Amino acid sequence: MARALDVKNLSIWYNLGGEPAIHDINLTVDEGEFVLLVGRTGSGKSTLLNSINGVIPNVIRAKVQGSVKVFGKETKITQLKDLSTLVGTVYQTPEDQIFSLVVEDDVAFGPENLALSSSEIKDRVDQSIELVGLQSKKRFPTFLLSGGQKQRLVIADALAMRPKMLILDEPTSMLDSLGTAEVFSTLKKLRDEFGMTIIMAEHKVERVLGLVDRLVLINDKSIAIDKPIREALLDDLNKYGIEEPQVSYVYKLIGGRKSAPITVQEFLDYEKEFVEHFKGSKLDVPQEAASRGKVAVEFDGVSFMYERSKDWVFKNIDFNLYEGEFVSLVGPNGSGKTTALRLISGLQKPSKGQIRILGRPIDSINRRELSGLVGYVFQDPDQMLFNTNVLSEVEFTPRLRGLNSSEAEKKALDVLSLFGLAGYKSENPHRLSVGQRRLLSIASVLVNEPKILLLDEPTRGLDWETGEDVLNFVKKLVKERNMAVIAVSHNMKQAADHSDRVIAFYNGGIVANGDPRSVFSQAEAHPEWSLVPPQIFQLTYSLGMVPPAIRISEMKALISSYVESTSELKRDIKCLGQILLGLKYC
C-alpha cells in the first residue's frame, strides 16, 4: 500500500520565541486508511491538519520545523493549487466554505478555478454530487439546505478537486444528530466504496469509531497514542479528556483486555456471559425526590409563528420548569427548542398563549427586570462578547442595572474568581480559548444572579472534558442558588448524565416530557425524533433490564459484583481443574 502521508519531527510555532503549537510529531498514514485524530480543544489537531493541506505555511504564516510529505510531495515547497488536487479539506463551519447560492455552481467553483473543460467540470460536478447523495438538490438554493446537507455539499466541493486524501476538522461540531449521521454515512461510503484516505479530527468519538481504522491522540502538543482503534480503546482515554464509548468502558470494567467493542451490538455479540447474567435483571435506581420547588417558568397553551411565516414553529404547548431543576430540551434542528428559549428570555412574544415567569405574566415584566430574572447564554459565545476586556464584559450588566463602578467591579471580580477567569481580567475576550470564552459568556450572564438560566447547546464545539467541566459547574450553581436551568442539547449522554428532566420537541409540539429514562424509553419506538440514547441505555434496554440504566454510575455496583462472581467462578473452575489433575489443593 502506498504511503499517503509522512510527517517527520514536525514542530510548528505561530509566535517566534513562544511555545510551539505542536511539537515533534511523527505520523504516517497509508493510502486507504481512515485515521481519527482526537485531543483536547487547543491540543494542536487543527494545526496538524493545516500543515497537511499546506495552509501552513502557504496561507497562515508560521515557523515550521520538520517535514510533511503528502503522496511524496513536501507541503512546504508545493504550491497550494497543486496540493488542492491531492488533499481535500472540510472545516467546521459549512457556511464559510460555500460560495454560491446554487448547489451545482458551488461544486463547480473548484474545477472552474483549475480551468478544466466544461464537459470535465460537468462530469466532476455530477459525480461529486452523487457521491454525497445530493442529486435531488442539484439546482437547490444552498441557503435552504439543512446543516447536514450543507456539510455534505462542502465534502462534494472538496471531492470535485479529485483529491486522493480528505481531511476533516470537526466537520459535525455545528450539526445535530441527524446531520452528523448524514456526514458520517457519506464518509463511510467514501471509505468503503472508493478507498479514500481520510484523516478526521472529531469530538464525537463514540459515533465515529465504527468507521475508523486508527486512533491518533494528541496530548500536550505531541502524539500520545497511535494505535489501531480497538487497541487504543483499551487505554484510558478519559485521562486525556476524550470521551470513550460506554460499551468499551464497560468492557474494560468487566476485565476485557483483548479487543474493545465499539457498538452495542458488538458488545452483545462478544460478551455472552454478561448478556446471560444481566438479561431481564433488576436495576436499583435511587428514587428521585418527590418534592419540587416553586414553578419558575410556565408555558400555558403557547403557540409561536414567525412574522410573515405561514408555519407554526410549535402549537399549543404546555410545560413547567421548577426552581432547582435542570431540564434538557432535545429534538431535531428546527423543532422549536431555541425558539422556546427566546420566548422565555422575552426576545420573542408568543403568537398565542401565556408565559409566566415566577408566577407573573412575562409581558408585565420590563426588559431590565427580566434580564435580572432570566439569564440566556447563546449557542455561539463569540456573539455574546462585545467588550474590550474580560472585566468590562462581566461588568456590563451590573453597570446597566445602575451599580457604581466599584460595586460593579467587585461583583464582576467575584464571578470571575468563581469561574477561574480572574487572572484574565485585562485580556481581550476574543483572545481566550473556546472553553474560556464559553465560561466567560456564562459568567457575564450569571453576574446578574438570575433565577432562571437558559443555555443553548452549552457544550457545542467543546471537547468532552471541557464540556463536562462547564456542565458540572452549572449544576453546582443550580444547587447553591436554587436556580432553574433549561439547556438545549443534542448530546443525549450529557442530557442523561446531568438532567432531572428531558423535554422532547418534534414536529411542532412536545412529544415526551419526563425523566431521561422514560423519554429515552419512548424514543425507542420513535426513530423519527432523532434521539439516540446513550449506549448504556441501549445496552440495558436491549437486555430487558428493569429499568434500563441511563448512566454508567448506575451500573457500577452491579458490574463490580458481576466481576467478583465471575472471577470467583473462574477461580473455582481453575481450582477444580488443578484438583482433578492432582497438581495442587486450593
Which span (21-29, 240-248, 375-383, 475-483) binds other proteins, by CB under 8 A? 375-383
b/e burial code for range 78-87 (CB count within 10 A of at least 16 → b): beeeebbebb
Site for other proteins in 314-333 (CB under 8 A): none
The residue behind cell 462534494 is: 156
CB 456 within 8 A of CB 488: yes
Least CB distance to other proteins at residue 296 (A)? 17
- The cell for 108 is 463547480
Site for other proteins in 204-233 (CB under 8 A): none
Site for other proteins in 26-85 (CB under 8 A): 53, 55, 58-60, 79-81, 84-85
| Residue 95 binding other proteins, by CB under 8 A | yes
- Identified binder of other proteins from the candidate list 6, 226, 231, 380, rule CB under 8 A: 380
The residue behind cell 497537511 is: 52
Site for other proteins in 342-371 (CB under 8 A): 345-347, 366-368, 371
Radius of gyration of the chain (CA): 26
Contacts of 408 (CB under 8 A, 6+ apart): 395, 398, 399
Residues touching other proteins: how many (CB under 8 A)? 76
Q: Which CB sits closer to other proteins, 158 or 504?
A: 158
User: How far is the C-alpha of 540 from the C-alpha of 549, rounded, in Å?
Assistant: 6
Site for other proteins in 230-259 (CB under 8 A): none
Q: Is 84 helix (H, G, I), strand (E, B) or coil?
A: coil
Q: Which CB sits closer to other proteins, 58 or 433?
A: 58
Q: Which CB sits closer to other proteins, 73 or 230?
A: 73
**Count of C-beta atoms within a 10 Å radius of residue 267:** 24
- The cell for 495 is 442530557
Q: Which CB sits closer to other proteins, 160 or 532?
A: 160
Which span (6-14, 243-251, 330-338, 372-380) binds other proteins, by CB under 8 A? 372-380
- The cell for 442 is 456564562
Query: Given phi > 0 = left and psi -120 to 50 = alpha, else beta, which region is 116?
Result: beta
Q: Which amino acid, residue 141?
A: P
Q: Which amino acid, residue 218?
A: I
- Identified binder of other proteins from the candidate list 240, 278, 378, 419, rule CB under 8 A: 378
Which of 287, 269, 230 is CA-nearest to residue 539? 269
Q: Which CB sits closer to other proteins, 120 or 564?
A: 120
- Identified binder of other proteins from the candidate list 189, 396, 477, 542, rule CB under 8 A: 396
Which of 377, 460, 440, 493 is CA-nearest to residue 93? 460
Least CB distance to other proteins at residue 55 (A)? 6
Q: Is 288 helix (H, G, I), strand (E, B) or coil?
A: coil
**Count of C-beta atoms within a 10 Å radius of residue 561:** 11
Binding mask 415-434 for other proteins (x = CB under 8 A): ---------------x----
CB 103 within 8 A of CB 142: yes
Q: Which CB sits closer to other proteins, 284 or 307?
A: 307
Contacts of 169 (CB under 8 A, 6+ apart): 45, 46, 49, 89, 90, 91, 92, 200, 201
Least CB distance to other proteins at residue 91 (A)? 7
- The cell for 12 is 510548528
Residues paired with residue 198 on neighbouring β-strands, in sequence order = 34, 166
Least CB distance to other proteins at residue 434 (A)? 12
| Residue 478 binding other proteins, by CB under 8 A | no
Least CB distance to other proteins at residue 498 (A)? 23
Least CB distance to other proteins at residue 129 (A)? 12
Least CB distance to other proteins at residue 318 (A)? 24
Least CB distance to other proteins at residue 415 (A)? 13
Binding mask 99-138 for other proteins (x = CB under 8 A): xxxx-xxx-xxxxxxxxxxx--xx--x-------------
| Residue 183 binding other proteins, by CB under 8 A | no
Q: Which CB sits closer to other proteins, 198 or 211?
A: 198
Least CB distance to other proteins at residue 315 (A)? 21
Least CB distance to other proteins at residue 540 (A)? 40
Least CB distance to other proteins at residue 344 (A)? 10
Strand ranges inside 339-395, DSSP E: 352-357, 360-361, 374-377
Angle between the N-to-C axes of helices 464-481 and 434-446, in degrees from 0 to 180, rounded to the nearest 10? 10
- Identified binder of other proteins from the candidate list 198, 374, 443, 532, rule CB under 8 A: 374
User: How far is the C-alpha of 225 from the C-alpha of 232, rounded, in Å?
Assistant: 7
Q: Which CB sits closer to other proteins, 345 or 459?
A: 345
Which span (8-16, 328-336, 341-349, 516-524) binds other proteins, by CB under 8 A? 341-349
Binding mask 135-174 for other proteins (x = CB under 8 A): ----x-x-x-------------xx--x-------------
- Identified binder of other proteins from the candidate list 340, 385, 432, 455, rule CB under 8 A: 385
DSSP string covering 516-580: HHHHHHHHTT-GGG-----HHHHHHHHTT-BSPPSSHHHHHHHHHHHHHHHHHHHHHHHHHHHHH
Q: Which CB sits closer to other proteins, 11 or 100?
A: 100
Site for other proteins in 550-579 (CB under 8 A): none
User: How far is the C-alpha of 144 from the C-alpha of 446, rounded, in Å?
Assistant: 36
Which span (37-45, 209-217, 273-281, 395-403) binds other proteins, by CB under 8 A? 395-403
Site for other proteins in 438-477 (CB under 8 A): 444-445, 448
Least CB distance to other proteins at residue 276 (A)? 53
Distances (CA, A) of 569 to 22, 252, 560, 562: 49, 19, 14, 10
- The cell for 277 is 447474567
Site for other proteins in 278-317 (CB under 8 A): 306-308
Torsion of CA 225, 229, 233, 234, to 10 degrees: -80
Q: Which CB sits closer to other proteins, 249 or 424?
A: 424
Which of 8, 62, 19, 64 is CA-nearest to residue 42? 19
Torsion angles phi and psi, residue 25, rounded to 5: -85, 130
Least CB distance to other proteins at residue 463 (A)? 20
